[in-house]
Amino acid sequence: MSAGSGAERAARRRLSRGASGLRHLRWAREVLATLEAHVEHNPSLADAYREALRGEAGALAASVQALSGAVKPYRDFLERTRVRYRGRVRVAEHLVREADADGAGGAAEAARERLGEALTALAGMEETQRRPLKEAVSAEIDRLREAMAQMDARLEERVSAALVESLYPPLTDGASRVADDGDPDDDATASPR
C-alpha cells in the first residue's frame, strides 16, 4: 500500500489531539486491551509476532500508566479544588444580583467587592494550580501519541496493516472520544463515525 493510504488509516484511528486527558487515557487503554487480547487469544499469530505484540503491550502499558499519573491529579483538582472556587464565584454573583434587586447600595457595593475577590482568587488558582497540572497532562498526551505512532510503525513492518488497524476502537464523529454504544453511562455513548 502507498504511504498515503497508511497515513489515511492512521488518521482514521487517531483520537483528536484536542480530546481530554481522560479520553486519551480511555483510548489508549482500549488499544492496550486489544494488544493484550491478540497476544492471548489470536491463534493465527506466529510466535515471533506474538512476542512483538507482547513487547509493544508492555511499552504501551508504561505510557498508559504515565498518562494516568498525570490525569488523576488533574481530574482530582478539577472535581475538588476548582469547583470550590467556582462555587464561591457563583455565590458572589448571586449576592450581587440580590443586592441590586433590593436596591441596597451599601450591600451591593460589598457584594461586588466579594465578587471581585472571588474572581481574583479563581484567576490565581487557574494560574498557580490548574495550569501546571494541565501542562503535565498535555505533555503526557504528546508522549503517548508519539509512542503509539512509533508502535504502529514498528508493528506495520512485522504484522499486517489490518491487524494494526484492529487495535484501535471506533471513534465518535470528530474523533473526540471512543464510541461506546453499549454503555449509556459512558460519556462516549455515540455511534462511530
Cβ atoms of 39 and 54 closer than 8 Å: yes
pLDDT for the residue 41:
97
Residue 186 above 90 pLDDT? Answer: no
pLDDT digits (tens, 9 = 90+) for 62-88: 999 999 999 999 999 999 999 999 999
pLDDT for the residue 104:
74
Q: Is 182 exposed, middle or buried (0-12, 13-18, 19+ CB in 10 A)?
A: exposed
pLDDT for the residue 7:
65
Residue 25 above 60 pLDDT? Answer: yes
Task: Work out the average pLDDT over 1-25.
Answer: 77
Cβ atoms of 166 and 34 closer than 8 Å: yes
Q: By C-alpha distance, which of 20, 4, 3 is closest to 144?
A: 20
pLDDT digits (tens, 9 = 90+) for 27-51: 999 999 999 999 999 999 999 999 9
Residue 115 above 50 pLDDT? Answer: yes
Residue 11 above 80 pLDDT? Answer: no
C-alpha to C-alpha distances, 186 to 56, 146, 183, 189, nearest whole angstrom: 28, 27, 5, 6
Owner of C-alpha cell 491487524: 163
pLDDT digits (tens, 9 = 90+) for 121-175: 999 999 999 999 999 999 999 999 999 999 999 999 999 999 999 999 999 988 9
Reported confidence tier of residue 106, pLDDT bands at 50, 70, 90 = confident
